[in-house]
Amino acid sequence: MNNILEITELRKTFKGFTLEDISFRLERGYIMGFIGPNGAGKSTTIRLIMNLINRDGGDIKIFGLDNIKFEREVKQRIGFVYDENYYYEELTLLEIKRFIAPFYRQWDDRAFMQYLHRFDLAPKKRVKELSKGMKMKFSLALALSHHPELIIMDEPTSGLDPVFRNEVLEILADIIQDETRGILFSTHITSDLDKIADYVTFINQGRIVFSEAKDSLLDSYALVKGGRELLDRDTRKEFVGIRENQFGFEALTRNATHTRSIFGDRVLVERATLEDIMLYTVRGNTSA
Partner 1 sequence: MKILISYSSKDPLYEQIARQIKEHILRGELAPGEALPSIRNLARELQLSVITTKRAYEELEREGFIESVGGKGTFVSGQNGELIREKRLRALEHKLGEIVTESKALSLTLAELQEMLALIYEEG
Cα–Cα distance for residue pair 165/180, rounded to 1 Å: 24
Is residue 195 near partner 1 by the rule CB under 8 A?
yes
Cα–Cα distance for residue pair 62/152, rounded to 1 Å: 11
Shortest Cβ 215–partner 1 spacing (Å): 5
Residue closer to partner 1 (CB basis): 82 or 199? 199
Which SS3 state, helix, strand or coil, does residue 92 take?
strand
Q: Would you tell me how many other CB atoms lie within 10 Å of the CB of residue 122?
A: 14
Residue closer to partner 1 (CB basis): 89 or 215? 215
Shortest Cβ 8–partner 1 spacing (Å): 23
Kindly determine how many residues on this chain lie close enough to bind partner 1 according to the rule CB under 8 A: 19
- The interface mask with partner 1, positions 257-276, x = CB under 8 A, is --------------x-----
Residue closer to partner 1 (CB basis): 38 or 177? 177
- Amino acid (one-letter) located at 254: R
Stretch that binds partner 1, among 73-81, 183-191, 213-221, 233-241 (CB under 8 A): 213-221
- Close Cβ partners of 236 (under 8 Å, ≥ 6 residues apart): 242
Q: 266 and 280 in contact (C-beta within 8 Å)?
A: no
Shortest Cβ 178–partner 1 spacing (Å): 8
Could you give the maximum distance between any two Cα atoms of the chain, in Å?
68
Is residue 152 near partner 1 by the rule CB under 8 A?
no
Buried b / exposed e over 67-100, threshold 16 CB at 10 Å, is beeeeeebbbbbbbbbbeeebeeeebbebbbeeb
- The interface mask with partner 1, positions 21-40, x = CB under 8 A, is --------xxx---------
Shortest Cβ 72–partner 1 spacing (Å): 31
Of the candidate residues 96, 111, 196, 279, the single one contacting partner 1 (CB under 8 A)? 196
CA nearest to 25, candidates 213, 239, 218, 272: 213
Is residue 215 near partner 1 by the rule CB under 8 A?
yes
Alpha-carbon torsion angle 19, 25, 26, 28, nearest 10: 140
Residue closer to partner 1 (CB basis): 30 or 70? 30
- What are the backbone angles phi and psi of residue 274, rounded to the nearest 5°? -60, -35
Strands 31-35 and 182-187: parallel
Stretch that binds partner 1, among 50-58, 63-71, 170-178, 236-244 (CB under 8 A): 170-178
Shortest Cβ 219–partner 1 spacing (Å): 6
Residue closer to partner 1 (CB basis): 31 or 152? 31
Shortest Cβ 107–partner 1 spacing (Å): 26
Is residue 119 near partner 1 by the rule CB under 8 A?
no
Cα–Cα distance for residue pair 188/102, rounded to 1 Å: 34
CA nearest to 105, candidates 83, 61, 142, 73: 73
Q: 22 and 45 in contact (C-beta within 8 Å)?
A: yes
Of the candidate residues 213, 230, 279, 282, the single one contacting partner 1 (CB under 8 A)? 213
Residue closer to partner 1 (CB basis): 191 or 245? 191
Cα–Cα distance for residue pair 77/149, rounded to 1 Å: 6
Binding site for partner 1 (CB under 8 A): 29-31, 169-170, 173-174, 176-177, 179, 195-198, 213-215, 219, 271
